[in-house]
Amino acid sequence: MSNSILKSSAVMAVATFCSRILGLVREQLMALYFGASGLTDAFLVAYRIPNLLRDLLAEGAFSSAFVPTITEANQESAQTGRKLLWELFFILGTVTAVLSVLIFIFAQELITVFAPSFLADPEKFQLTVTMTRIMCPFLFFISLAALFMGALNSLKVFFVPALAPATYNLASIFAMIFLAGLLRNQGHEPVLCLGWGALLGGFLQMIVQLPLIIKRGYGPVLPSQFFSKRANKIILLLGPGLVGFAATQINLLVNTILATGAAVGATSWLNYAFRLFQLPVGILSVSIGNSNLVHFSSSWKAGKKEEAVATLSSAYFLSFLSVMPAMVLLYVYSEEVINLIFERGRFSRASTVMTASALRMYVLGLPLYSLYKIWVPTFYAIDRQKIPVISSLLSIGVNILFCWSMTPLYGFSMLALGTTLSMLLNCLILAFMLNKDLRLGWRFFFNLRLFKLMGASLLMVIVSLFIQTQLHVKDASLLTKIFSLALVAFVSTGVFVGAIYFLGERQGLSALASRISSRLKKR
């Protein structure tokens, strides 16, 4: 297993873990103060508008196009990479600033499209419009934060960029604790604190990375030209991504309309479930995917194809090894986990049941999301960016048809299942094309190591289901819930690790454990 993948993935995982734990605290406070209600639905719809564009620029086509290109520029010289960074800073800053202004101006029209059912409740509609306008600069700040993150990752600096999102969570927590009461005393709706917290968090996430950019010798410089050859290359690579993004917008629009029309609180149930699902995705999958992108790009651009494929193979195995235990635990103990984390204050037992039903549908796709975070950037690194776009269009089309037909019959949880099924189709298409382009051979995908992981996961499921029949903690004290679920997680994961160990994957486990341990001690 590649030491570079393990090392950088471990560093990013530790930093991301800190951020995700704070994110979980943020979600707990939101559930405590506002529950799963029309107020949280209003915030989530408002946040989704700038966040749609953020997904493209922070975690989508832009990052996948930018990192390989600036890696190539850095190999030429540090000064070339520095000029490219600040050229992109001005271009990206201008585009996102204009978009932010447009969101502010057309907020009412956007909410009419994204949540037409809100028109029946003028107060909720106006509240959503107000929060949309508060948060519109978030797009500007968070996009530049993504630019700085990509630049630092290309320099193999992972810890601070992965930790930067923690500042967003801290700002949101601070806003709920201190700003909600102040807004109430001034006669404003307290839920507006979520919008102001998101805005402050986006700014902090950008600014916290700037000192490290300067320290590495990539401080601000006025570009000698705009739209250079490399900048144009990134923009051209981004083009197909914009097509995929347009399709993603339609997909999210359909999901939002269906969720807001399904029931009051449905948007919030899906959000809380997705946040829990994102915990292992963010800590493990994104860390592995970003690490793979940097190391694969470096090897590929240097002409070391065998080394690049070995990096990809390491990331593939590590993704399954990391997320399979999380998938089993979150699926089997979905209600117990949500009961422990969210069920207090205005978050009721009924909301726990509804959120758990969505969470189970999401976590079935956890290994698929992990693979997706690896496959897509790989295609950008080998200049085959059209493949993930076409794949995305097909899978989104399937998702829309599935959700549109099944949600009215079986409820809002079909929106989560549709996301999982579309991801399955997406990963199958990408794997087929990756095999064709890199001539990996089907043993790359279906090998003995993978079947060992499947066997260990099945054993973990059996043990977890047995323990669940003996576990009754929903009405127990908080300490009893924490202790019981911690013990369950320890025992179940121990069964998985023990099975992997005795099936012969001792070296992989030992290397992973030692790397993570050493990084934890250093940090």
Query: Residues 102-126: pLDDT tens digits?
Result: 999 999 999 998 888 888 889 999 9
- Counting other chains too, the contacts that 467-473 makes at CB distance below 8 Å and 24 or more residues apart are 467/491, 467/492, 468/332, 468/333, 468/336, 471/336, 473/336, 473/339
**Token pair belonging to 188:** 């404003």
pLDDT attached to residue 399? 87
**Token pair belonging to 231:** 């900048």
pLDDT attached to residue 11? 57
Delimit the domains of the chain by residue range: 38-247
pLDDT attached to residue 285? 67
> What size, in residues, is the chain?
523
- Please state the rounded mean pLDDT for residues 365-373: 87
Q: Mind listing the pLDDT tens digit for each residue in 469-498? A: 887 777 777 788 888 888 888 999 999 989
Interacting residues of 483 by C-beta distance below 8 A, sequence separation 6+ = none
Residue of 53 and 213 predicted with greater confidence? 213
- Least confident residue range of 56-70, 254-268, 494-508: 56-70
Inform me whether the pLDDT recorded for 302 exceeds 80: no
Nearest to 118 by CA among 53, 189, 43: 43
Please return the burial class of 410, using the count of CB atoms within 10 Å of its CB with bins 0-12, 13-18 and 19+: exposed
For 237-286, the DSSP string reads: HHHHHHHHHHHHHHHHHHHHHHHHHH-TTHHHHHHHHHHHHHHHIIIIIH
Residue of 415 and 389 predicted with greater confidence? 415
Percent of the chain with pLDDT over 70: 85
- Please state the rounded mean pLDDT for residues 176-200: 92
- Please state the rounded mean pLDDT for residues 339-356: 87
Distance of CA 156 to the CA centre of its chain: 20
Residue of 523 and 10 predicted with greater confidence? 10
pLDDT attached to residue 297? 78
Inform me whether the pLDDT recorded for 448 exceeds 60: yes
Inform me whether the pLDDT recorded for 282 exceeds 70: no
Q: Helix 3-34 vs helix 506-522: angle between axes, to the nearest 10 degrees?
A: 70
Inform me whether the pLDDT recorded for 8 exceeds 70: no
Interacting residues of 330 by C-beta distance below 8 A, sequence separation 6+ = 276, 277, 280, 337, 359, 363, 366
Q: Mind listing the pLDDT tens digit for each residue in 228-243? A: 888 887 777 676 656 6
pTM greater than 0.85: no
- Please state the rounded mean pLDDT for residues 301-312: 82
- Least confident residue range of 144-148, 239-243, 434-438: 239-243
Q: Which residue has the tokens 């990134």?
A: 234
pLDDT attached to residue 516? 47
